[in-house]
């Protein structure tokens, strides 16, 4: 769904000796309802099973206060797409703020950790996107350039860097930067090899880079490129934290990271060093702008966004 559901469902497994402690927290927290306790229902790990619904705006406080459960039992959080319940509606109404404004920090932390890893799928998508961009450059095709922008998966690693800067997590920052560098290096190398073979076969030559006026913006970074990157970084982080997947597509189309990588590869294969420099500058400018604005957006959300309870320590 494109919008955050107002109610979350929590499933907790807790040692029987600490069940009363958990239920006391649930009773105290705003926006918690439909609490169910099933003594001895859990087998692995052993313990009591506790179910409840929580208004999205109240989730950070509940998760934060029950953080110890993850070491002695289990916490699982699910979206509730349909809740036909007056008490659930009352819980959402009781919790201050709006569900769309609530950032579930534990959820975001888990997501960016996954996005910071180098996977075969990530490398494949980035390599295919960069090759599409390279073909778009050679064919002077804005349509292919836009397609490459949408396909590129690099924003996940950029968001992970922003989160790492927010929380001071050096290891996450390093692993995310490694994912970006290795990913673009592999994608550029594959596209370069394909372009070089095409040059040897006589399919392309330097003239292809002299008649591509429609895509020349890729190698001409300026103040507007940086402003667009700043806006895209802020919009990208908001789309992730607010669950607006359609907005994230707009972010991909706004920035020229993947097209710049494709242009680098093609220009290298054709030995056009001036275009290589412009493309590298565009790539670096876009990534830097998105990291800056994405981090600032997370800082603002953490300190000033209207949410209930304590800010999560995640």
For the stretch 25-38, pLDDT in tens is 999 998 899 999 99
pLDDT exceeds 90 at position 245: no
Residues 6 or more apart whose CB falls under 8 angstroms from that of 280 comprise: 260, 264
Residues 6 or more apart whose CB falls under 8 angstroms from that of 64 comprise: 309, 310, 312, 313, 314
Residue 109 Cα distances to 105, 106, 114, 162, 245, angstroms: 6, 5, 9, 11, 18
Distance of CA 204 to the CA centre of its chain: 37
- Contact status, residue 112 vs residue 160, Cβ threshold 8 Å: yes
The beta-strand segments (E) located in the chain are 7-14, 32-43, 46-55, 74-80
CA distance 103 to 71: 23
Q: How confident is the model at residue 2 (pLDDT cuts 50, 70, 90)?
A: very low
pLDDT exceeds 50 at position 170: yes
pLDDT in tens, 44-74: 889 999 999 999 888 888 999 999 999 999 9
pLDDT exceeds 50 at position 229: yes
pLDDT exceeds 80 at position 13: yes
Residue with tokens 């599409």: 132
pTM of the model: 0.84
For the record, the structure tokens of 235 come out as 């919009």
């Amino acid at each position: 769904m494109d919008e955050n559901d107002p109610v979350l469902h929590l499933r907790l497994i807790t040692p029987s000796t600490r069940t009363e402690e958990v239920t006391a927290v649930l009773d105290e927290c705003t926006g918690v309802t439909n609490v169910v306790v099933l003594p001895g229902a859990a087998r692995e790990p052993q313990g009591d099973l506790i179910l409840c619904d929580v208004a999205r705006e109240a989730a950070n406080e509940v998760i934060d206060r029950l953080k110890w459960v993850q070491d002695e039992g289990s916490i699982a959080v699910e979206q509730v797409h349909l809740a036909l319940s007056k008490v659930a509606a009352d819980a959402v109404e009781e919790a201050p703020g709006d569900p769309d404004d609530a950032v579930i920090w534990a959820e975001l932390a888990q997501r960016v950790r996954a996005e910071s890893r180098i996977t075969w799928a990530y490398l494949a998508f980035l390599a295919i996107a960069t090759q599409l961009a390279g073909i778009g450059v050679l064919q002077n095709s804005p349509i292919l350039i836009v397609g490459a922008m949408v396909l590129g998966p690099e924003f996940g690693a950029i968001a992970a860097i922003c989160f790492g800067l927010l929380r001071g997590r050096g290891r996450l920052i390093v692993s995310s930067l490694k994912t970006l560098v290795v990913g673009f290096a592999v994608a550029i190398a594959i596209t370069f090899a394909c372009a070089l073979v095409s040059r040897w076969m006589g399919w392309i030559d330097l003239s292809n880079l002299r008649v591509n006026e429609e895509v020349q913006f890729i190698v001409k970074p300026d103040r507007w490129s940086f402003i667009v990157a700043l806006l895209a970084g802020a919009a990208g982080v908001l789309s992730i934290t607010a669950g607006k997947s359609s907005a994230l597509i707009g972010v991909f189309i706004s920035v020229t990271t993947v097209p710049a990588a494709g242009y680098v590869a093609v220009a290298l294969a054709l030995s056009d060093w001036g275009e290589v420099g412009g493309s590298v500058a565009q790539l670096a400018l876009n990534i830097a702008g998105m990291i800056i604005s994405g981090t600032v957006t997370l800082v603002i959300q953490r300190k000033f966004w209207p949410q209930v309870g304590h800010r999560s320590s995640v």
